[in-house]
Amino acid sequence: MLVQAPRPCAACAGIDFWHIAEVVERDMGPTPMGVWLDDLGRPGASFELLVCAGCGLTEWWVSDAEALKAHRFPPERWLSAARPCSRCSSTSALHLPMLDQVTGMAPIPMAALVDGGRPAASLWTVVCPSCGYAIWRVEDHVAATSRRGPAGSSCRVCHSSDVVLARSLDATVPIRPVERLVEPQAQYVLRFVAMHETTWALYFWGWFMLRICRPCRRVDWLAQGLDQLRPQPRDGIFKIRVGDAAAPTRGPYRP
């Protein structure tokens, strides 16, 4: 993991963050979102998040960068001319297709946009194997008819105002009678930001808006609806602040 002091938010200069220790998604039950999936469809590693408590801009990190180094990725997954990592300056990078796990079905591409119940544009990550920092992209054409960003919104990378906003949706299998599970069909539900599990129930907080730049295809994740979120250490939900020497004790930024 990268050892450095937390940075203020790149969008609003905020200094308070939510640290989500493991990103979880829906399937037949909560399951870690895989950075990649093995031959049996199991997550090979998982993500953790730093979410700006002010504007919701979200940083993605691979929880175990050592797993990235140990895994034998196909040669075509390595970028031959990667830009230096903005966090550690490494020039090595992996280009990984993101997949949704759906019980009873083969993994399907993680959707940036959904049209008619199918992914209309799929999500990829560019991951630094040295520190685990991940950025997101779309590798498909994004139609001009998609929902455009509000006036004043622009890409943080190329500064284009030609951006699209979309809620992030998670492909999952709806609960159905057993006899109807012979040919399960994926359905899309809002992807939550954080989850709290009790003996009897699951509680979900927030959702994500995706800001997709059509010219450069960069994707920003913007967490919304976290007003009621509170620290839940047992569930890996922590509140941290830039400059606080006592925190965090885990995650990509360590004292």
Tens-digit pLDDT profile for the chain (255 aa)?
434 556 899 999 999 999 999 999 887 778 889 999 887 778 888 999 999 999 999 999 998 888 888 889 999 999 987 789 988 888 989 999 999 888 777 888 999 998 877 888 999 999 999 889 999 999 877 765 566 666 568 899 999 999 999 999 998 876 555 555 455 567 888 999 998 888 788 889 999 999 999 999 999 999 999 999 999 998 999 998 887 755 555 556 543
Q: Which tokens in the block code for residue 12?
A: 């609003």
Closest to 104 measured CA to CA, from 201, 183, 158:
183
Positions of E strands within 64-217 = 94-97, 99-100, 108-109, 111-115, 118-127, 133-138, 163-167, 169-172, 187-190, 194-197, 202-205, 207-213
| Contact criterion met (CB below 8 Å) for 129 and 90 | yes
> Does a structural domain hold residue 178?
yes
> Does a structural domain hold residue 213?
yes
> Does a structural domain hold residue 61?
yes
> Does a structural domain hold residue 80?
yes
pLDDT at residue 48 in the model: 92
Structural domain harbouring 63: 16-241
> Does a structural domain hold residue 205?
yes
> Does a structural domain hold residue 68?
yes
How many domains, the chain? 1
pTM across the whole model: 0.89
pLDDT at residue 187 in the model: 83
pLDDT at residue 42 in the model: 80
**Distance between CA atoms of residues 160 and 149, nearest Å:** 11
**Distance between CA atoms of residues 112 and 128, nearest Å:** 21
> Does a structural domain hold residue 8?
no
Element (H, E) at 61: strand 58-62
Three-class DSSP category at 65: helix
pLDDT at residue 27 in the model: 77
> Does a structural domain hold residue 5?
no
